[in-house]
Structure 1
């Protein structure tokens, strides 16, 4: 059994889909900085638990 879950989000700079591995024990409700896999811009990512058992991912630019 994997300890991480897979999720996707769109880069707020270039709108490209990015993959994110989420550790449900440690990553929920934490702010992270991730670089876009396409344009390499820094993205502020916040992961919260979703109502349907999934995840809500908020991805913002550093100026938001």
Structure 2
């Protein structure tokens, strides 16, 4: 059994979709910096539980 859940988010720089593995026990409510898999730009990722599922908020590093 996997402890992570695959999700996708859109890069705020190049608008391509990236894959990310979410650990529901540790990643919810946490902010992370990840690099885009296509353009390599740094992206601030915030994962929150909306009560209806997970929401991934991806922002540019300079916002």
TM-score when scaled to structure 1?
A: 0.93
Partner of 1:47: 47
Post-superposition shift, 1:6? 0.7
Segment drifting more, 12-21 vs 42-51: 42-51
Structure 2: segments with no counterpart, 5+ residues: none
Equivalent residues, number: 63
TM-score when scaled to structure 2?
A: 0.94
Partner of 2:8: 8
Q: Does 1:62 align with 2:61?
A: yes
CA distance in structure 2 between the partners assigned to 1:20 and 1:58 by the alignment: 12
CA distance in structure 2 between the partners assigned to 1:22 and 1:50 by the alignment: 15
Structure 1: segments with no counterpart, 5+ residues: none
Structure 1 runs, 4 residues or longer, greater than 2 Å off? none
Q: Considering only aligned residues, what root-mean-square deviation do their CA atoms show, in Å?
A: 0.8
